[in-house]
Amino acid sequence: MQDSHEDTIIQLLNQSGQAVMVGDSARAESALSRARQLDPVTLELELARRAWANQTGSKDEINRRREGVVKRLGGVAVAAPDRIDAWRALSEYLRQLGNNEGVLRATASGLKRDPVNVELWIRRTKAQIDMKQLDSAARSLRHCARLAPTHDAVEAMIRVHPVCAKCDALFAAAGAETCGKCGADGPGRGAVVRSVRARHNNKFDIYFPRVRDLIAETLDMPEHIQRQLTLDTLLKRHLKRTNQHCAKVLRAMSKEFGTAFDEPLFQSAVNGFLDLLIADLIRAINPREDKTIDTQIRRRALNETKS
Ligand SMILES: [Zn+2]
């Protein structure tokens, strides 16, 4: 990952601010330009954060300043489109300004570069809910649930927004009286509703948290990387693909799941590419034979294999 020099840039900005206060504009400018040389995007993000938090002036002045922050940051993001942190900050500020169309545009731009960024998907889903685009919101939330089944914000949204049993659109709230799309009775009127997760209770979702922890431990992944792992990133990124890594993971998975593996599928698992190996091994787990998973998870897994 690229070093964004965040700490140094914050220090330089503080020095610049102190120099301004004692009237030393040359020193202030020099600190600022050193920060810009280190990483102009990180500098802009920090400047935006400070301007956004600045509560001085009237309500109108604060709003004008915030509009200015968003405009400037929009230019920064367009000029450095691969910087997902810029799209993320931009969509967050747009959300706070209540500009949901802007959030949709910013998240679309960011997701074009990083289609598995769950933070961007979460912001996109929330904007779609606010805009009452409940069909698109249901699709986006399903996507979130698939990418990051254990993410707190995803869990929270799934709890608050069940889906309509008639048309699959998301309900705007847990107590909604009617479906915003088809008009059917909602949970507020006692209607039976479903979770967006219901369609995606597949073996990957069910086993993902356990496999992730196991692999993180086996490969000594730092905790911050482990926390970022989603089903997709586990399969596509963060993984060094040496033969030793594959062999280690194979041993750890065999120890963990042992006899629960379906023998022919286990034997045909592709050893050599870690992402393929992990996908094959999860596929080879037979939930009927897995005595180690807790009964509730087991029941869900069994329902899945029946259908
Ligand atoms: Zn409906």
> Are 24 and 75 members of one domain?
no
CA of 31 to the centre of ligand 1 (A): 57
> Are 85 and 175 members of one domain?
yes
* Per-position b or e across 257-277, b if 16+ CB within 10 A of its CB: beebbeeeebeebeeeebeeb
CATH number for position 108: 1.25.40.10
CA of 202 to the centre of ligand 1 (A): 24
Q: What is the pLDDT of residue 261?
A: 86
> Are 130 and 21 members of one domain?
no
> Are 111 and 136 members of one domain?
yes
Domain boundary among 164, 179, 199: 199
CA of 136 to the centre of ligand 1 (A): 13
As a whole number, mean pLDDT of residues 273-282 equals 78
CA of 184 to the centre of ligand 1 (A): 5
CA of 223 to the centre of ligand 1 (A): 41
> Are 260 and 116 members of one domain?
no
Q: What is the DSSP string of 68-129?
A: HHHHHHHHHHHHSTT-HHHHHHHHHHHHHTT-HHHHHHHHHHHHHH-TT-HHHHHHHHHHHH
d(CA 289, CA 280): 17
Domain boundary among 149, 171, 199: 199
127 contact partners, CB below 8 Å, separation of at least 6: 91, 95, 100, 103, 104, 107
Question: Quick one: DSSP state of residue 307?
Answer: -
As a whole number, mean pLDDT of residues 76-95 equals 96
Which tops the pLDDT comparison, 303 or 107? 107
Whose tokens are 């200015």? That residue is 68
Which uninterrupted H or E stretch holds 193?
strand 193-194
CA of 179 to the centre of ligand 1 (A): 5
Asked if pLDDT for residue 303 goes beyond 90, the answer is no
Asked if pLDDT for residue 32 goes beyond 80, the answer is yes
Q: Of the spans 29-33, 240-244, 276-280, which averages the highest pLDDT?
A: 29-33
> Are 103 and 31 members of one domain?
no
CA of 181 to the centre of ligand 1 (A): 5
As a whole number, mean pLDDT of residues 214-218 equals 86
> Are 51 and 173 members of one domain?
yes
Question: Quick one: DSSP state of residue 240?
Answer: -
Confidence of residue 294 (pLDDT cuts 50, 70, 90): low
Which tops the pLDDT comparison, 59 or 207? 59
> Are 153 and 173 members of one domain?
yes
Tokens of 165: 């049993």
Residues 144-172 pLDDT 10s: 888 877 788 888 898 899 999 899 899 99
d(CA 6, CA 219): 28
What percent of the chain lies above the pLDDT cut of 90? 50
d(CA 45, CA 6): 10
Q: What is the pLDDT of residue 307?
A: 42
Whose tokens are 């309509």? That residue is 164
CA of 170 to the centre of ligand 1 (A): 8
Domain boundary among 177, 199, 221: 199
> Are 189 and 214 members of one domain?
no
CA of 193 to the centre of ligand 1 (A): 10
CA of 15 to the centre of ligand 1 (A): 56
d(CA 206, CA 162): 20
H helix intervals, the chain = 6-21, 25-38, 40-53, 59-79, 84-96, 100-113, 118-130, 134-147, 152-160, 203-218, 223-228, 231-236, 243-257, 263-267, 274-284, 295-306
> Are 70 and 192 members of one domain?
yes
Confidence of residue 262 (pLDDT cuts 50, 70, 90): confident
CA of 109 to the centre of ligand 1 (A): 30
> Are 159 and 256 members of one domain?
no
Closest alpha carbon to 27 in 36, 38, 37, 17: 17
CA of 183 to the centre of ligand 1 (A): 6
Q: 268 phi and psi, to 5 degrees? A: -90, 0
Asked if pLDDT for residue 42 goes beyond 90, the answer is yes
CA of 111 to the centre of ligand 1 (A): 28
Tokens of 250: 């194979």
Asked if pLDDT for residue 1 goes beyond 50, the answer is no
What is the extent of the structural domain holding 244?
A: 203-306
Asked if pLDDT for residue 190 goes beyond 50, the answer is yes
CA of 54 to the centre of ligand 1 (A): 43
Count of structural domains within the chain: 3
CA of 175 to the centre of ligand 1 (A): 14
What percent of the chain lies above the pLDDT cut of 70? 85
Q: What is the pLDDT of residue 244?
A: 81
Asked if pLDDT for residue 45 goes beyond 80, the answer is yes
> Are 94 and 54 members of one domain?
yes
